[in-house]
Chains A and B, each alone.
Chain A
Amino acid sequence: MGLLARIALAHLRGRVRQSLVSVLGVATGVGFFIAVAALMEGSQRDFIATLVDAIPHITIRDEFRNPAPQPIRAANPDAAVQLDGLKPKDELRGIRNARARLAALDSISGLVAAPSLRGQVVLRYGGKDMGVSLIGIEPARERRVSQLEADLVQGRLEDLHTAANAIIVGTVLAEKLGARVGDTLLASSAAGIRLRVKVVGLFRTGVMGVDRGQAYALLKKVQVLQERPNVINEIRVKVGDVYQAAVIARDLEARLGYRAESWDEANEGFLDALRIRNIILYSVVGAILLVASFGIFNIISTVTYEKARDIAILKALGFAERDIRWIFTAEGLVVGAIGAALGWGLGYLLCRVLSQVEITLQSETRTLPLYEAPAFYALALGFALASAGFAAYLPARRAARLNPVDIVRGAQ
């Protein structure tokens, strides 16, 4: 071991109790950092997985991100043009050439697509009305792009073919209406069409908005109900890598012209909320390490004060300022490193304990979602060493600048 390191360790051994408190402070910070990071990342991944399962990865709709430019503006891009009395063109809604576009999407490797017609209807049962988004699907294609079949808690996707006007609703919606499988609801669309529909299945995605506000029926039936024969207003796409959905969506939008929205764009608000939650929680855990670094600052400051004579003689003997800085910064780093090592153990134990905790959500009992990654351990170590090093560097710099003559005179 080098001379400077031996001096640094000797100083720490001289203040065992204070050093131990500082080490425990760092260990606590590192341990909770690891546990909270695992919990946050686990819950975030769990949430995203639930979300991604519940909705299409990309939804192509019969709308445009930007309105088409007026021809006169397109012809005179540099001119100042004022248009009065403009009325929007009464466009026929729906994706044009939908079947051809669907075939084109199917030909792209890694993508599968399914057509649908989405429209608002009111479902009435037992005097209760609930507005829902009714999605017309083709079951054979639907199972390729969504988890609907896996989310069914009652009934099967094929059951949509068994009844004349079959519908699958979310468990929350069914509960609010008081309806069960086999019951017949009255569906009314904005077009004024009414149909009696029979509940043939219930699904639960875990996303409240979906389970309460969506229902599925055969595409043909929804086209009748919406009075839009042969119209498709959505193409839902599934991709191989959900985290590439935004990039693929931009590409599809450029190819097709229609707005293509990825799952993360559609849930930007949720994801922003997750980011804010992460910032808050990391700040709280970071504060623990900050407090621990105050402890390190305190101990190193005390040691530099107590060891002023040692500093003076070391400088008189020919130690450079950087040697003195090194000694005291190393003391902080040693405290940080030992604390981080203990914190790793504490973090691992906390993760084991948390992984045993069971929670009940929507009558489903499960363990807390944890995601443990070596990166969290590395991050905690880096943060602990950086804060410990910085906390020690400040008094170390002051110690290095001490004038040995002042100390020697004071001592004598």
Chain B
Amino acid sequence: MRRVTLKATGLARVLPGAVPVTLVRDISLEVTAGEFVAITGPSGSGKSSLLYLLGLLDRPSAGSVEVDGQPTADMSGDQLAALRLAKLGFVFQFHFLLPEFSAAENVMVPLQRAGRLDSRAIAEWAAGLLAMLGLADAADKRPDQLSGGQRQRVAIARALANDPLVLLADEPTGSLDSVNARIVWESFADLAHKQQKTVIVVTHNAAFAAAADRRVHLVDGRIVSDRPATA
């Protein structure tokens, strides 16, 4: 039986206000290591909100999230940050690379923050990640010297820097051309299948979603279908 890396139970997120807005409701989900999951749905269906809840960036109004068997409901902000640093990796639609740092330095940021390796090992590890994503020649370039696809792959390398259990990506191919989008998508598939990472990707692209192992479809904040993508 595969290891459950992420488990959501009865998740709901309501934005308070004069007219409360429900982003997601009653969502229960289990994802295992090596699984490549695509979350799909129309705009406003709560895909990104669900991803942020699963990634511990947002706190649920109801329900709970467990990461690698650890309940997170009672954790402080700093504890959640430490858990994100150790076990989760994020990729967003925009790369959000630090503009003053080179590609390699951007990848080294989470490694240096974690402080588990010495500076030489950190540099070697970052170089290895960039090489794995086909960016060996771009290590010393700043983000403004890279193409859109290269930037997004640097962002993926950064998300993988601390060897996370779970990689969460929010529309990672949304700002890329079709060639670069396919390269990025294939990278995710490789990470899940070859490195046994849990990869959860929000996407609008039906073709890409079909290439995942599992497709979770949301409408109005609820899961309306959860089945193998190829089915």
Binding site for B on A (CB under 8 A): 3, 7, 10-11, 13-14, 309-310, 312-323, 403-405, 408-409, 411-412
Contact = CB atoms under 8 A, between A and B. Distances in A.
A3 B112 contact: yes
A317 B92 contact: no
Nearest to B162: A318
Contacts of B100: 10-11, 13-14
Interface string B99-126: 1110000000110111000000000000
Interface in B73-107: 77-78, 81-86, 88, 90, 92-94, 96, 98-101
A412 B170 contact: yes
B55 interface: yes
Contacts of B85: 317-319
B78 A412 contact: no
A315 B90 CA distance: 11
B163 to A, nearest CB: 13
A317 to B, nearest CB: 5
A412 B171 contact: yes
A3 B92 contact: no
B109 A405 contact: no
A405 B84 CA distance: 14
Contacts of B170: 408, 412
A315 B92 contact: no
A408 B114 CA distance: 23
A411 B94 contact: yes
A309 B112 CA distance: 20
Contact of B84 (A7, A317, A322, A403): A317
Contacts of B78: 320-322
B113 A318 contact: yes
Contacts of B109: 3, 314, 317
Interface residues of B, number: 33
A317 B158 contact: yes
Nearest to A14: B100
B183 interface: no
A411 B90 CA distance: 15
Nearest to A322: B78
B57 interface: yes
A406 to B, nearest CB: 10
Given A322-B78, A408-B170, A317 B98 contact: no
B173 interface: no
Nearest to A409: B48
Nearest to B168: A316
Closest 7 CB pairs of A and B: A318-B85, A10-B100, A313-B96, A3-B112, A318-B84, A320-B81, A320-B78
A316 to B, nearest CB: 5
Contacts of A312: 96
A318 B81 contact: yes
A408 B95 CA distance: 11
A10 B98 contact: yes
8 contacts: A13-B100, A14-B100, A310-B96, A316-B55, A316-B57, A318-B86, A318-B114, A412-B170
A317 B90 contact: yes
B82 A408 contact: no
B208 interface: no
Looking at A7, A316, A405, the one whose CB has the most chain B CB atoms below 10 A away is: A316
A405 B51 CA distance: 10
A412 B93 contact: yes
Contacts of A13: 100
B48 to A, nearest CB: 7
A412 B92 contact: yes
B58 interface: yes
A310 B98 contact: yes
Contacts of B81: 315, 318-321
B52 interface: yes
Nearest to A9: B100
A405 B101 contact: no
Looking at A310, A313, A321, A411, the one whose CB has the most chain B CB atoms below 10 A away is: A313
